Structure 1
Amino acid sequence: APAHGVLMTSATLTDGGDWSGAITRSGAARLEVQPELFAAKSPFDYPNQAQVLIVTDVPRGDIAALAGAYARLIEASGGGVLGLFTAIRRLRAVHGRIADRLARAGLPLYAQHVDPIDTGTLVDIFRDDPRASLLGTDALRDGVDVPGQSLRLVVMEQVPWPKPSILHRARRMAAP
């Protein structure tokens, strides 16, 4: 009742389809007024400037292999890596294994949950040094903007979607 308006935005709100799913998931279907919709084409040329690789030779739970893979990818790209983790414990373990190696190669490595610096400042430091890399969790995955040459590679140690909960299943069953 106290709201005079609501703005909702997302780069993937329609998931490549139409607006019906987004309207249902957002709750806008229950509003008395029809939502105003707008979509803008991405300025990024994904087909020509992006590549997705799925690595299948790092065994699940093998921290040494995971750390080795991260180090090799950061070295190969000359920094500019945003490494995303689904668990703080794995992030810290990988950071601990590769930080010295990368420092000796002149590639600064920063990490959320390791460095005693707030996330915004870590992102600023990463953005300002194209040879730096940054490790983090969902706060970095869900809303970091690093334009230019400072971000050249995103590495995710596993798919970042949580396992469905009872609440998730209930919502899906209730959706028309």
Structure 2
Amino acid sequence: MTSATLTDKSGDMEKDWAFATKRTGASYLAMPDMPFDLTLANFDSPFDYAKNARVFIVTDVDKYSPDQVSAAYRELFLAANGGGLGIFTAIKRLKAVYRRIKEPLADAGIPLLAQHIDTVNLQTLLDIFKSDPESCLLGTDAVRDGIDVPGKSLQMIVFDRVPWHRPDIAHKTRKAAFGETGEAYNLTLVRTKLQQAFGR
């Protein structure tokens, strides 16, 4: 099993691997009655993130205002001149932003694609996005977690909000199974989601 986001990278490698093997079920492979050897290895990325990437945290936008969030997306996508991926934690907010920015982007020659709006399936939508470096794409967790966009087609990722898990029964049960209290478990999951998105 290989993944760029398998471990949390918290700085405590032993704890990170314990969490990763438990979360993936790989810990069962190391049990005495299993015919497997579990070898854990961690490798640094060859990509120079500090030199080639920038992270900006916008603090002057009211996240509850569709107009302000839309204006932020519009200006960021215009500044990037395409190649923008907008990640949303709710379909309703995605649709609200789409309605407000589609025309201004089209006027600037930037096609806007959107999961849950365009009638083509997600894979086709992704293929269109990858093939047109001037386009932008709005999507939810399926876009955040399951795509790879090499080259110039992806220049920027914009999140509408931090991707927190909903505290439903399944989440609470998993949290209890991991023996976590407070926000430690939630923060680990959020960091993993952000790493996953950043790896697009």
Mapped partners of 2:89, 2:28: distance in 1: 34
The AA in structure 2 aligned to 1:72 is E
Trace 1:120-159 onto structure 2 (pairs within 5 A): 120-159=123-162
The AA in structure 2 aligned to 1:106 is G
Does residue 12 of structure 1 match 2:26? no
The AA in structure 2 aligned to 1:22 is A
Partner residue of 2:61? 58
Partner residue of 2:121? 118
Aligned length: 169
Deviations 1:11-37 (A, max 9, x none): 111111422221222233233244233
Partner residue of 1:42? 45
Question: Which one has the bigger helix percentage?
Answer: 2
Deviations 1:116-154 (A, max 9, x none): 111111111111111100001111000211111110000
Mapped partners of 1:174, 1:93: distance in 2: 37
Does residue 23 of structure 1 match 2:21? yes
Shifted more, 9-18 versus 118-127: the winner is 9-18
Shifted more, 81-90 versus 157-166: the winner is 157-166
Trace 1:80-119 onto structure 2 (pairs within 5 A): 80-119=83-122
Aligned CA distance change for structure 1 residues 144 and 67 (closer, same or farther; 3 Å): same
Mapped partners of 2:135, 2:167: distance in 1: 35
**Percent sequence identity over aligned pairs:** 51
Mapped partners of 1:105, 1:175: distance in 2: 49
Aligned CA distance change for structure 1 residues 113 and 174 (closer, same or farther; 3 Å): closer
Trace 1:62-73 onto structure 2 (pairs within 5 A): 62-73=65-76
Where structure 1 has 5 or more consecutive residues not aligned to the other structure, the ranges are: 1-7
Partner residue of 2:171? 168
Partner residue of 1:5? none
Compute the TM-score of the two structures, normalised by the length of structure 2. Answer: 0.78
Is the Cα–Cα contact under 8 Å of residues 89 and 160 in structure 2 kept in the other structure? yes
Compute the TM-score of the two structures, normalised by the length of structure 1. Answer: 0.88
